[in-house]
């Protein structure tokens, strides 16, 4: 996905895949993925502030871009959980989508992957697992909030002895989410590294275009599955 990293990996024999520890903060190691995440969060915060500080009835500029993005995400979620719940859970799901999308795209920047402080966060399993755990905990929280103790009833359906299997299913979901996102991003990097080593003059531009497409697809799939899990947990059955 990220041809600048692939070029460096090809030149260095493909050994630059470990964590890039930059410094320690309060006893914790800060890596390039961490600093890139800080940059992405700052970018989203600034964009949100600029888009909402002087909102107009007829949007223009960054307000227009942000409204377009928000409406697109709401339309996507509405088809899964209805418009009311789509707007209700937009802050979580919309933030996940934008963060993952920009994280994926950060790997396309020149020098990404081998410049200290700049590395696609989603190419690290720790990051994708953390995002998946946020989805898992949010799903359980919203389920209990919307349905009360009745939420736990589904763990014993369709028969009580299914309880262990239902628990395992819930635990597998975050693992599956994290591995799907990490595996696709990291695996794509490895494929590009191999191709770049073979045909360095041809690969970059087409792979950058494919990287933009795949980066969007991965953010879309992650958000889609997260919305399905939350929709299932918050579904209220009327008798």
pLDDT single digits (tens) 122-146: 988 999 999 999 999 999 999 999 9
Confidence of residue 1 (pLDDT cuts 50, 70, 90): very low
pLDDT single digits (tens) 93-118: 999 999 999 999 887 776 676 778 88
Domain ranges of the chain: 3-234
Overall average pLDDT of the 136-164 stretch? 89
**Token digits for 192?**
């590009």
Model pTM greater than 0.75? yes
**Token digits for 229?**
């899990």
Tokens 């009311």 -> residue: 84
Overall average pLDDT of the 15-19 stretch? 53
Based on DSSP, count helices (H) and strands (E) in the chain, helices before strands.
7, 2
Q: For residue 119, which of 217, 13, 22 has the smallest C-alpha distance? A: 22
Alpha carbon 96 to its chain centroid, in Å, reads 5
Confidence of residue 9 (pLDDT cuts 50, 70, 90): very low
Cα distances from 90 to residues 81, 97, 151, 233, in angstroms, run 11, 10, 22, 16
């Amino acid at each position: 996905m990220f041809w600048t990293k692939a070029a460096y990996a090809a030149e260095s024999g493909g050994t630059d895949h470990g964590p890039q520890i930059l410094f320690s903060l309060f006893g914790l190691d800060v890596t390039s993925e961490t600093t890139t995440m800080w940059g992405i969060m700052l970018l989203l915060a600034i964009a949100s502030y600029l888009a909402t500080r002087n909102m107009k009835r007829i949007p223009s500029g960054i307000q227009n871009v942000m409204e377009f993005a928000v409406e697109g995400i709401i339309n996507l979620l509405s088809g899964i959980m209805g418009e009311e719940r789509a707007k209700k859970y937009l802050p979580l799901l919309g933030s996940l989508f934008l963060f993952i999308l920009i994280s994926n795209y950060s790997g396309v920047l020149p020098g990404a992957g081998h410049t200290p402080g700049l590395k696609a966060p989603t190419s690290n399993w720790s990051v994708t697992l953390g995002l998946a755990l946020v989805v898992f905990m949010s799903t359980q929280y919203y389920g209990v909030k919307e349905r009360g103790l009745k939420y736990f009833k589904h763990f014993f359906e369709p028969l009580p002895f299914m309880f262990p299997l239902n628990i395992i299913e819930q635990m597998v979901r975050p693992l599956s989410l994290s591995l799907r996102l990490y595996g696709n991003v990291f695996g794509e990097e490895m494929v590009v590294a191999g191709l770049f080593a073979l045909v360095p003059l041809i690969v970059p531009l087409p792979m950058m275009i494919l990287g933009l497409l795949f980066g969007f697809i991965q953010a879309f799939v992650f958000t889609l599955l997260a919305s399905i899990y939350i929709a299932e947990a918050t579904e209220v059955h009327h008798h």
